[in-house]
Amino acid sequence: MKIGVVVHGPNIIDSGYALKLINLFKEYGEVSVRLGGTMGRTAVIDASLENVIDISKKLVPSDSLKIFHDEDVDVIFLLNYGKSDVTGQVFGYKVYNHYVDKIDDNNIPIIQIERPGEEDGSVIPWNNELDMVDEMSEKLNLAVVTPEEVYNNHIRQDDVGINQRIVHGVSPGENIMVNSVVIGKTNSDKLTLIAKDNHIVDIIGGELKEHGLEKLGEVDLESAIIKTGLLRHAKVKPRVIGHDDCKEYKVTFLDHAGEDVYKFRDSSLVITVGDDTTLISSDILYRFDIPVVGITDGDLDKVVESGFKVKNSIIFEVESGFDDVCGQDIKRIMFGDEQITYDYSNIDEVKDKIIEIIKNINCKYKINYIK
């Protein structure tokens, strides 16, 4: 039997269950494993599993499912460890339906293993009634939850039109991220986002952050990736594997946390704009021993528990609301239409140029050196 496994998110990896389940599946046949999502890549590196779980491509979970479909495997498992049984089951419903929209035939069984080890964990057979479902339920001591139960319990109430989207499993005081941009904070355990003309215009159960909405811009609310709370819950010891060699001093510009930071692993230095972008990017780049020069304004939403930074990184804190203004001038003056420059030979030259640019804007700033 050829088995495809899609691993989503850092929690299933940090918990140790991803590896346990992969080893269990090997009792049934030949197993291939891919990651679905972005934040899980850091967890794979920290767990030294990059030779077990393929993280070579940035893929959303439904795309990872489709690759296995095209490879004609016999069964596909989707492994997830959601914040709650509700968020995990709703996640699976949306991933499965996005996957179905991408294929012509739906003849490969899809089985989700959700929150293994928890009392509310489950096995969800999205399109099949394989004996393997009952076997997994018994071996893992997880209840079998049907797609109909997921729809009736969590999805049916969502059918209020494409201009509204209910977000499940939230708690008061959590950040709301849409496509990797923080757009507000919850103040209730029930959250609904409302959009008009492809822009989020209102919220029920939270407060919007105008600066975040400006960064987000247009969005398809139906297909957007929405998360609340911390992106990674476990407190971990980061594993440093070093960066890819580049013969010249390569400086890269990054102004959006949703970009694929991993593609910059051959950079000598990365300039990041925004508090959360700097936090997430520096934490990832720490694994590759790549310093950052961050442009922030102190408006941190804390989307990860601990943000690691490489020694000798430099963080500029400018006046409130000026991080984007400074970032735009840095991009225009230092990079032009490109995202990469080789015009500098060390971090001090980059720092001096940024100071010059900030002073020309007449913006107050302070510098924090990471030692």
Query: How many CA atoms lie less than 13 Å away from 53 in the CB half-sphere?
Result: 33
Residues 45 and 276: their CA atoms lie apart, in Å, by 21
Hey, CA dihedral for 206, 209, 212, 216, is it positive or negative? positive
The confidence score (pLDDT) of residue 282 equals: 92
The confidence score (pLDDT) of residue 237 equals: 84
The confidence score (pLDDT) of residue 280 equals: 86
Burial class (CB in 10 A: 0-12, 13-18, 19+), 103: middle
Tokens linked to 161:
């039109």
Choose among 253, 180, 171: nearest CA to 206: 171
The Cβ of residue 197 has, within 10 Å, a number of other Cβ atoms equal to: 7
Give percent of the chain with pLDDT exceeding 90: 68
Model confidence pLDDT, tens digit, residues 251-286: 999 987 656 788 899 999 999 998 888 988 999 999
DSSP element (H, E) containing 11: helix 10-14
Tokens linked to 357:
């640019």
Strand, helix or coil at 165? strand
Tokens linked to 179:
């496509």
Model confidence pLDDT, tens digit, residues 209-230: 888 898 889 999 888 889 888 7
DSSP 68-115: HHHTT-SEEEEEE--SSHHHHHHHHHHHHHHHHHT-S---S-EEEEES
Residues 313 and 255: their CA atoms lie apart, in Å, by 17
Helices (H) and strands (E) in the chain, counts: 11, 19
The confidence score (pLDDT) of residue 304 equals: 53
Angle among Cα 232, 227, 212 to the nearest 5 degrees reads 110
> What stretches in the chain show pLDDT beneath 70?
157-162, 231, 233, 257-259, 299-306
Strand, helix or coil at 189? coil
Residues 220 and 285: their CA atoms lie apart, in Å, by 30
Strand 75-80 and strand 2-8: the pairing is parallel
SS3 content of the chain, % helix, strand, coil (to 5): 30, 25, 45
DSSP element (H, E) containing 267: none
> pTM for this structure?
0.81
